[in-house]
A = this chain, B = another copy of it.
């Protein structure tokens, strides 16, 4: 089949809050083929930047708009998807936004190819089984330890047996508050559930402070301590990983497979957290997964967008029993579950499983998000060169 059309959607809540909550907007891409099939993918990107990356005019031979690269291309096999990835990477060699922008297209190509071949994406990627995964609820630390405890209690009531808390005041007001936040999160969650802490890069390249916190947090039986340092502080990650009593997790800042490899080899992280919507899509996320596997690290998704992103991320490691965790975005934003008719839900054991259907396995329905569609238009010398779509 041939790629006939690419539609770009920009969804956003009416008011965007200034907090670390990525579920407030969405860049969604729909690919249509000449056989009448359609596939969907979502980027974890500022929607306007992704839109510009698709519709921009050529800057030079190594910096070409992504729609231009994809329209008209043949798509019949997984090798075609990999060929298109290499082609787009080459034609947008000098585009820093490439991994964030192209992700949506790459995921949509896997989705539509799965529908074409009547196979779930996880099988196309090479997995035999679609294993249940333990979902951890992903939450923001509240302003006080007590409010954090209440939120942890709610996560448990919703059926989660694992929860992560991150960002908010963590690291900004000294050791005492940091420890209190973790203590109350553990209290709210109870002794049985798994607890993870996400420090949101707050100690930058200061691995000594991160190590002191890790030693204090160890009392609360953490599964991991996430992103205590900046994505660039790989050497500091290496020193911390070696000494920390709590396993270290990082990776959401990786824009390339090499950055993931660097974090594994030189940062020596125990958990590699990759967002297919940031690393260029499923094609490159799967490569990063293979690198983690080869080094005995645990691959985990990073997902704070819609369930299209969740399903894509789960396909990467669906069949691998050594990768038991799934980040399950615990946001009430209508952009998270509202995009699909049959959202993935956690079961009574706190586990989730990909739907056993072709492609990503989701029934995407844009109608529910009509009110959130934003109309972005880009003109050049008075001529419209691109726009986000209205919901039809």
Number of copies: 2
> A52 to chain B: which residues have CB within 8 Å?
46, 48-49, 51-52
Nearest neighbor of A46 in chain B, beta-carbon distance = B59
**B18 & A61 in contact (Cβ 8 Å cutoff):** yes
Asked if A377 is at the interface (CB within 8 A of a chain B CB), the reply is yes
Pair B96/A45 contact, Cβ less than 8 Å: yes
Q: What does the 1/0 interface line of A241-256 toward B look like (CB < 8 Å)? A: 0000000000001011
Q: Which residues of B contact A259 (CB under 8 A)?
A: 258-259
Name the residue on B nearest A57 (C-beta). B16
* Contact assessment for A96 and B99 in the assembled complex, using a CB-CB cutoff below 8 Å: yes
Q: Which residues of B contact A201 (CB under 8 A)?
A: 93
Residues of chain B within 8 A (CB-CB) of A101 are: 96
For A358-377 the 0/1 string (1 means CB < 8 A from B) is: 00000000000000001111
Interface stretch (choices A20-28, A171-179, A341-349): A20-28
CB contacts under 8 Å to B, within A265-313, are 266, 278
**Chain B residues closer than 8 Å to A76, beta-carbon distance:** none
Which residues of the partner chain B approach A336 to less than 8 Å between Cβ atoms? none
Contact B378 A382 (CB under 8 A): no
Known: A376-B379, A380-B376. A257 touches B278 (CB 8 A): no
Check B278–A258 contact: CB distance below 8 A.
no
Instruction: Flag whether A53 is at the interface (Cβ < 8 A).
Output: yes
- The closest CB in chain B to the CB of A86 belongs to B204
* A378 CB to nearest chain B CB (Å): 5
**In the assembled complex, A111 has its CB within 8 A of some CB on chain B:** no
A257 vs B47: C-alpha distance when bound (angstroms) = 26
Q: Which of B25, B45, B51, B59 contacts A22 (CB 8 A)?
A: B59
Interface members, chain A 145-182 (any B CB < 8 Å): none
> How far apart are A222's CB and chain B's nearest CB, in angstroms?
23
Determine how close the nearest CB of chain B comes to the CB of A304; give it in whole angstroms: 9
Contacting B at CB under 8 A, from A1-58, are 12, 16-22, 24-25, 44-49, 51-53, 56-58
Q: Which residues of B contact A95 (CB under 8 A)?
A: 46, 49, 97, 100
Assess whether A96 is in contact with B278, with CB atoms less than 8 Å apart: yes
Give Cα distance in the complex from A97 to B258, angstroms.
18
Does A98 sit at the interface, judged by CB under 8 A?
Answer: yes
Does A382 contact B375, Cβ atoms closer than 8 Å?
yes
Residues on B with C-beta less than 8 A from A100 are: 95-97
**A60–B19 contact, CB under 8 A?**
yes
C-alpha spacing A275/B232, complex, angstroms: 18
B-chain residues with CB within 8 Å of residue A380 when the two chains form the complex: 48, 374-376
B44, A94: Cβ atoms under 8 Å?
Answer: yes
Q: Does A63 contact B (CB under 8 A)?
A: yes
- Which 8 residue pairs of A and B lie closest in terms of their CB atoms, listed nearest first? A232-B258, A97-B97, A96-B100, A48-B56, A52-B52, A19-B61, A46-B59, A20-B61
- Give me 26 A-to-B residue pairs in the complex whose CB atoms sit less than 8 angstroms apart, sorted by A's number: A21-B61, A24-B59, A25-B60, A46-B53, A46-B56, A46-B94, A46-B95, A47-B59, A48-B57, A48-B380, A49-B49, A49-B53, A49-B95, A52-B52, A95-B97, A95-B100, A96-B96, A96-B255, A231-B256, A231-B258, A232-B258, A235-B261, A255-B255, A262-B266, A375-B379, A376-B378
A binding-site residues for B, Cβ under 8 Å: 12, 16-22, 24-25, 44-49, 51-53, 56-64, 93-101, 201, 231-235, 253, 255-259, 261-262, 266, 278, 374-382
